[in-house]
Amino acid sequence: MNVMNQKLTGIGMTSDRTRMRMIERLRQQGITDEIVLTAMREIPRHIFVDNALASRAYEDCPLPIGFAQTISSPYTVARMSELARSGKPIKKVLEIGTGCGYQTAVLSRLAQEVYTVERIGPLLTKARRKLVEIKCSNVRTQHADGSQGFPDMGLFDCILMTAAATHIPQDLLGQLDVGGRMVIPVGTQQQHLYLIERTPQEFKETCLESVKFVPLLPGRS
Ligand code: SAH
């Protein structure tokens, strides 16, 4: 096996077996969507963190990715993906907060088209490189403040935000298709995950478990 392949497939604490153990843990934690579990079983999470942290990539915790940001824990990624899918294939998903690109890579296995927006330029550059490395060819990225969504791309059947907003951004609701779902952490000190479902009549809000995300920030850098 050449060095490049070995980096992707992993060895020791980044190996296939370690990834299998993560999947078993996710099952114990209540994740049941086999499509999500398969995506997470196949995507090498360790390549999305710095080499020095690669051996910790499959632990059930967030890890630093630079610029005071974090990669979400495996459970958080699985839970949000499961809520986004709700047992159905996704046509077009918008992710706000690309970060290191791991959640994006998982979404690329669950959806036909993935649009992702990140406000920190160097993070996005790194994420793009990783997504190319593992051949996620259905992803389009944008360096922008994602609270306005990804304008001019039409409506999305799924919107997922990976940073906590103080309120649900109205611009984003406008980009959600009828029958679509938004998964978004809301709050400052106390945060909760919200599921918003757009029906022909209304935006139905469901408040789920308490969560801890980095804040959604304005502008881009
Ligand atoms: N899914 C990512 C989570 C990264 S943390 C991962 O697993 O790596 C949240 C990300 O949201 C950070 O990278 C942060 O820079 C980004 N972010 C915060 N506010 C934003 C905004 N207004 N628009 C776009 N991205 C934003």
- Domain contains 16: yes
Task: For residue 148, give the amino acid letter.
Answer: Q
Determine whether the shortest distance from the Cβ of 117 to ligand 1 is under 6 A: yes
* pLDDT at 122 (0 to 100): 98
CA-nearest residue for atom 6, ligand 1, is 71
- When pLDDT is cut at 50, 70 and 90, the band that residue 3 belongs to is low
Q: Is 81 a catalytic residue?
A: no
Q: For residues 208, 140, 169 and 178, what is the CA-based torsion angle, rounded to 10 degrees?
A: -70
Query: Which range marks the domain in which residue 190 is found?
Result: 3-211
Percent of the chain's residues with pLDDT above 90? 88
- Domain contains 216: no
Residues of 130-148 as b/e, b for ≥16 C-beta within 10 angstroms?
bbeeeebebbebbbbbbbe
* pLDDT at 14 (0 to 100): 73
CA–centroid distance, 144 to ligand 1, in Å, is 11
- Ligand 1 probe mutation, 75, 118, 141, 166, most atoms within 8 A of CB: 118
- Ligand 1 probe mutation, 119, 130, 168, 211, most atoms within 8 A of CB: 119
CA–centroid distance, 162 to ligand 1, in Å, is 6
**Average pLDDT over every residue of 187-204:** 96
- When pLDDT is cut at 50, 70 and 90, the band that residue 211 belongs to is very high
Per DSSP, 73 falls in state: P
Tokens of 50: 């710095």
Instruction: Count structural domains, the chain.
Output: 1
- Tens digits of per-residue pLDDT, 10-63? 777 778 899 999 999 999 999 999 999 999 999 999 999 999 999 999 999 999
Q: Structure pTM?
A: 0.96
Do 157 and 90 meet the contact criterion of CB atoms below 8 Å apart? yes
Residue 45 to residues 4, 15, 35, Cα–Cα distance (Å)? 15, 10, 16
- Going by C-alpha positions, the residue among 31, 160, 33, 24 that lies closest to residue 86 is 33
- Tens digits of per-residue pLDDT, 143-168? 999 998 988 899 999 999 999 999 99
Do 210 and 192 meet the contact criterion of CB atoms below 8 Å apart? yes
- When pLDDT is cut at 50, 70 and 90, the band that residue 7 belongs to is confident
Does the pLDDT value for residue 1 go beyond 70? no
* pLDDT at 24 (0 to 100): 98
- When pLDDT is cut at 50, 70 and 90, the band that residue 4 belongs to is low
Does the pLDDT value for residue 2 go beyond 70? no
- Domain contains 62: yes
Determine whether the shortest distance from the Cβ of 71 to ligand 1 is under 6 A: yes
Q: CA 60, 63, 13: angle at the middle one, nearest 5?
A: 60
Task: For residue 167, give the amino acid letter.
Answer: H
Q: What is the CATH number of the domain that holds 100?
A: 3.40.50.150
Determine whether the shortest distance from the Cβ of 69 to ligand 1 is under 6 A: yes
- Tens digits of per-residue pLDDT, 166-187? 999 998 999 999 999 999 999 9
Active-site choice (72, 81, 108, 147): 72
Distance CA 102, CA 95 (A): 11
- Domain contains 218: no
- Domain contains 217: no
Task: For residue 19, give the amino acid letter.
Answer: R
Tokens of 208: 């789920």
